[in-house]
Amino acid sequence: MRRIDESLFPKLVSGLFGILLLVLLNQSITGAVPEDPSFGAAAPPTDVKAKDVPNDAGGAIVIDWKPSADDVEENENFLGYEVLRSTEPDHDFEIIGTVPAGASRITDNEAKDGIEYYYIVRAINGSYISESAPIGPVSSSQQWFHLGRINTFLALLILSVAIVWYIRRARKGEELFIRKIGGLEAVDEAVGRATEMGKKVFFVPGIMDMNDVQTIAGVTILGRVAKLTAQYETELDVPVAKSLVMVAAREVVKESYLSVGRPDAYHEDVVHYMTDDQFGYAAGIDGMVVREKPATIFYMGSFFAESLILAETGNSVGAIQIAGTAMPAQLPFFITACDYTLIGEELFAASAYLSKEPRLLGSIKGQDLGKLLILIAIFIGVILITFGIADISDLFRAK
């Protein structure tokens, strides 16, 4: 028998020790896998539901689920969820979207109405994927009525009934009360003063085009002013900044002169175009005001930074000035520099106030009733919330 070299004995012992250490380490790692959620597939999401999005125009399905049991903050390997869709319950599923960990809802906005779909939700844990069972079928559709806006519908219905009721009363000849508007009451006086002084009446319809509601309201008032100047044989001057406003204003003035039997007094130069440039327009009007010193100036329409320039120049020549605009930033300047100012809605109510036309008067009264009801509701709501009785704010919220 050959004798074992004694120098090999330490190497043999160290080798056996290394093998034992690897076995123990492998057992330790294998035993840790079931206890650590970052290893292996995570629990799939549960309670998956899909339904058509309510109160919409169609083309959308919302998918909800209960998050995976492994979707916890401590598990850094949990990446999120994938949602798959198919028109078949068992194959051809395609990813339509992903959401991060912690999410539990996604909306499929690419669904086609009338087509039945099936959905699967996958939980992604590192490189492992676990998925829920397919759910469905579900399809999207459009709804005729938005049930979350019934309150808006009821408010519109009440307002419409009020307007129709007041219009019927006005058509029967019943006099509807509308509070006096100082600026409109002074129109006759202002034109009469210009007539007595033998000077012009200037009418400035703002710097916006005919697609602006304030310009339309201003041109409507121009019709009333033109009738008075035709009756009193007073010269009227209407400088405009837009070509369409010039065409519309000419037709209004012409019709006004014709309605009072003075078509011969009308000429197209009454309404004339100046420039589209904002401050060029203001400078041109200021020059005319300084040279001709009109007795009366009307500012009716949309105005911006040129409002104070115009009003101060008119005030410096001693003209009676009546302004009207719905531009909140310009109202202080007009109120300061003009004799009368139509504030906001007063400008839009001017046509009804001056013409006394039943449909316009009924609309104004009906809208005023609607505003009164809203103010009452706000007052009652404030009281109920203040004393902790009830919160009725949801009744007035459009969803």
Select from 287, 308, 338 the last residue of a domain.
338
Q: Does some domain include residue 102?
A: yes
Q: Does some domain include residue 20?
A: no
DSSP state of 41: P
Mark whether 99 and 202 lie in a shared domain.
no
DSSP state of 233: T
Residue 1: what pLDDT?
42
Read off the tokens for 205.
């319809």
pLDDT band at 32 (very low <50, low <70, confident <90, very high): very low
Taking the C-alpha atoms of residue 155 and residue 367, their distance in angstroms, rounded to an integer, is 11
Residue in this structure with the two tokens 């006759």, named with its chain if needed = 188
Read off the tokens for 3.
């004798």
Taking the C-alpha atoms of residue 397 and residue 211, their distance in angstroms, rounded to an integer, is 31
Mark whether 217 and 287 lie in a shared domain.
yes
- Single out the residue of 140, 145, 144 nearest to residue 110, CA to CA: 140
Q: Does some domain include residue 281?
A: yes
Select from 284, 307, 338 the last residue of a domain.
338
Residue 365: what pLDDT?
87
DSSP state of 109: T
Strands (E), 155-286: 201-204, 236-240, 271-273
Select from 110, 138, 166 the last residue of a domain.
138
CATH value at residue 201: 3.40.50
Q: Does some domain include residue 94?
A: yes
| 277-328 pLDDT tens trace | 999 999 999 999 999 999 999 999 999 999 999 999 999 999 999 999 999 9
The residue segments making up the domain with residue 53 are 46-138
Bond into 137 cis (ω within 30): yes
Angle, vertex CA 219, rays to CA 216 and CA 223, nearest 5: 140
Bond into 328 cis (ω within 30): no
Residue in this structure with the two tokens 């504030």, named with its chain if needed = 343
Q: Does some domain include residue 177?
A: no
CATH value at residue 116: 2.60.40.10
* HSE value, Cβ hemisphere, 13 Å, CA-based, for 320: 19
| 321-354 pLDDT tens trace | 999 999 999 999 999 999 999 998 888 888 777 7
Q: Does some domain include residue 241?
A: yes
According to DSSP, the residues that pair with 202 across neighbouring strands are: 237, 297
Flag whether pLDDT at 372 surpasses 80: yes
Flag whether pLDDT at 110 surpasses 60: yes
Stated pTM of the model: 0.62
Count of C-beta atoms within a 10 Å radius of residue 316: 13
Which is it for strands 117-125 and 201-204: parallel, antiparallel or unpaired?
A: unpaired
Phi/psi of residue 307, nearest 5 degrees: -60, -50
- Single out the residue of 224, 242, 241, 240 nearest to residue 232, CA to CA: 224
Taking the C-alpha atoms of residue 272 and residue 256, their distance in angstroms, rounded to an integer, is 17
